[in-house]
Structure 1
Amino acid sequence: MGIFATLERMVERDGGAVLVTVMAVSGSSPREAGTRMAVRPDGAFSGTIGGGALEWQALAEAQALLASAAGSRMRMTDRALGPDLGQCCGGRVRLMLERFDRTDLPWLAALSAREDGAEMITIGLPQPGGSFSRRPAGETEAALAPSAAPVLLADGRLVERFGSRNPPVYLFGAGHVGRALVMALAPLPFELFWFDPRTDAFPAHVPRQVRIMRDPQPERSLGQAPDDARILIMTHSHALDLAIALAALAAGRFAYVGVIGSQTKRARFLSQMRQAGLDEERIARLTCPIGIPGIEGKEPAVIAASVVAQILLLPAYAAAGAGREESRLPAERRSVGGKAVS
């Protein structure tokens, strides 16, 4: 569920909610700028800004802000994690806390309806009491937010990015390991396309970000897959595994092509790939067996954990998150609530 849908549900149920946003960080910090957490009046929350003392204090401040029905609806805090909170990180984090109530439901509902897992850029308009109401940004406005870090403009508007395009995983096979992988990937920032030609192979319920694909020739789907797709192959048929792997490697553009199996299966596949005319450079991109070396367990959940760890370590994935650990607001941005935000 997206952040606006979460806030809308909280406000409808409890009459109010607080959005905690990491505005900027420097040095080591639990989470990056643009991370958010929604808090209910009873202290229950959705999302995390990193846990520990920083989050615990933010939850207490959010509840205090919700308890103050009158007065300011927004609070800015700036914490040095070592001196202020006794943490070892050594970094500094600036948080913005905003209180919303039923008067905010129209724009919360409008943005909730637009959340579909894709990136959305909004413009926040200052409201009485200091919080922001938001609307989708226009093309020119969207260009003002080059990264995940919120940008406070000199005229008081707030430009933010919500959601992102998550790297896609193309998972071929709905057997025991395939099902375990779906559950292991469910809470992680991936978009999952799940293929199996067998009409009765899939469970009745799957996580929200999973797209079920029933294609009798699933290798054809690779023509539409983006370059940063992770290809995981574990069908019920070795012949089908080989056909998908050949198509994926022949494309020569995917971040990861992995096939479940033994060293014997790998040797057989390499031989057949050479017979099919695939060059050595592309063959070398095959990962088989899949998973982190040294993890020997063959239980589906163990294999799934090993494979997920392996694709999280991919250089392409690391590059996608590069530069987000230290996001600062430009020095020329104005102050909010009397505290500098540069």
Structure 2
Amino acid sequence: MGFDLDALRAAVAAHGRVTRVVIAEVRGSSPREVGTAMLVWPEPDGVGQSGTIGGGTLEHAATGAARRQRAARVLSRHALGPDLGQCCGGAVTLLSEVFDAGTLAVLDGEVIARPAGGDTAMPLAVRRLLAAARAQGVPPEPQLVEGWMVEPVHRPARPVWIWGAGHVGRALVDVLAPLPDMAITWVDTGAERFPAAVPAGVTTVPAADPARLVAHAPADAEHLVLTYSHALDLEICNRLLGHEFAFAGLIGSATKRARFRSRLAALGHGPERIARITCPIGDPTLGKHPQMIAVGVAAQMLRSGRHISNDKELSA
């Protein structure tokens, strides 16, 4: 959770004037946590929006208020039960800020701290919080401190490499790209393999010889291998086994799993190393439709937190 500067910059570039609504404080039960934000902008036929602060009525009211907002910043408090008729028994404080190219240009650094109301001097508590974050190298949690909103800049920390831009690769990107912590690198053999519109935050890499890129992947990356070619899949797996990775998953069947296990062994990889490649990926009980495979893979990634787990490995 953090201040997504890239998303805000993209929205301002596309729409000019954008209101960012962030949950600044929570008391009791609430639909979302502190730091959750959405972007709102006017459109000819209504209101444009990305992200969600949850809560149904709360979000509906906040969106309408953001559309009408003229002040640079508005801090508002909402009792979810008495004010909005929601079942949550808590209360939330929302900070709504209007951004354009000018106000966006002054945002800088790894932590964004600013007054939530009028322009006031930075409180000592905020100074100490920022100093501790710099000294320890650990970003602070999003929080409202003595009238100032403090948020770390969001940096996706989970590198995911998707090898292949076919039907399953496209479905996976569509499902995974909106998740807040995914830094997706999408690789295929040519630019024409990718769709015309690629989700924000996804880096496409056309390469005549994709397997050579394995050496450039971070050691903590998670890899999903699903190219159009079994030979290319095999070479990528071969290179991965000579490289470090957090997870490697291969699309396939029991037959493909057995053949790859044999071929990787012939290439000199031992059983324990080969067992690190999971095949098949996804949940086979969901079916073989690309979106079903993508949903299964995404569910496994979210459940495991850091690694995809599957009991059908190449060594099985």
TM-score by length of 2: 0.74
**Mapped contact 2:27–2:92 kept (Cα < 8 A):** no
List per-residue Cα deviations over 1:294-329 (Å, max 9, x = no partner): 112x232332232233323333179xxxxxxxxxxx
Distance in 1 (alpha carbons) for counterparts of 2:117 and 2:170: 47
2:239 to 240, 247, 266: 247
Distance 1:93 1:285, change over 3 A: farther
Task: Report the counterpart of residue 275 of structure 1 in structure 2.
Answer: 266
List per-residue Cα deviations over 1:160-188 (Å, max 9, x = no partner): 12322242221112223223323333323
1:108 maps to 2:104: yes
Task: Report the counterpart of residue 143 of structure 2 in structure 1.
Answer: 150
1:260 to 230, 251, 255: 251
1:29-44 maps to which residues of 2 (within 5 A)? Answer: 29-40=30-41, 44=48
Secondary structure of the corresponding residue to residue 231 of structure 2: helix
Distance in 2 (alpha carbons) for counterparts of 1:278 and 1:96: 55
**Mapped contact 1:20–1:95 kept (Cα < 8 A):** no
Distance in 1 (alpha carbons) for counterparts of 2:117 and 2:264: 63
TM-score by length of 1: 0.69
Task: Report the counterpart of residue 3 of structure 2 in structure 1.
Answer: none
| Aligned AA (2:294) | A
Query: Number of aligned pairs?
Result: 292
List per-residue Cα deviations over 1:73-108 (Å, max 9, x = no partner): 5323153x5566554455x3432333548xx76222
**Mapped contact 1:142–1:159 kept (Cα < 8 A):** no
**Mapped contact 1:230–1:311 kept (Cα < 8 A):** no
| Aligned AA (1:23) | A
1:96 to 94, 97, 108: 94
Distance in 2 (alpha carbons) for counterparts of 1:20 and 1:128: 17
List per-residue Cα deviations over 1:201-250 (Å, max 9, x = no partner): 33344233222223333233233322432201112222221121132234
1:52-131 maps to which residues of 2 (within 5 A)? Answer: 52-62=56-66, 66=69, 73-79=73-79, 81=80, 85-89=84-88, 92-98=90-96, 100=98, 106-111=102-107, 120-125=110-115, 128=118
Distance 1:27 1:285, change over 3 A: farther
Distance 1:270 1:3, change over 3 A: same
List per-residue Cα deviations over 1:25-55 (Å, max 9, x = no partner): 4665322211112345765543210142332
1:106-255 maps to which residues of 2 (within 5 A)? Answer: 106-111=102-107, 120-125=110-115, 128=118, 140=131, 143=134, 146-152=139-145, 154=146, 157-189=148-180, 190-198=182-190, 200-254=192-246
Q: Which of 1 and 2 has higher RCO (CA within 8 Å, sep 6+)?
A: 1
Distance 1:147 1:283, change over 3 A: farther
Distance in 2 (alpha carbons) for counterparts of 1:76 and 1:199: 47
Distance in 2 (alpha carbons) for counterparts of 1:216 and 1:19: 41
The share of aligned pairs that are identical, in percent, is: 41
Task: Report the counterpart of residue 313 of structure 1 in structure 2.
Answer: 303
Distance in 2 (alpha carbons) for counterparts of 1:39 and 1:283: 48
**Mapped contact 1:232–1:258 kept (Cα < 8 A):** yes
Deviates more, 1:171-180 or 1:309-318: 309-318
TM-fit CA distance, 1:291: 0.6
Task: Report the counterpart of residue 292 of structure 2 in structure 1.
Answer: 302
**What stretches of structure 1 of length at least 5 have no aligned partner?**
319-342
Secondary structure of the corresponding residue to residue 313 of structure 1: helix
TM-fit CA distance, 1:286: 1.8
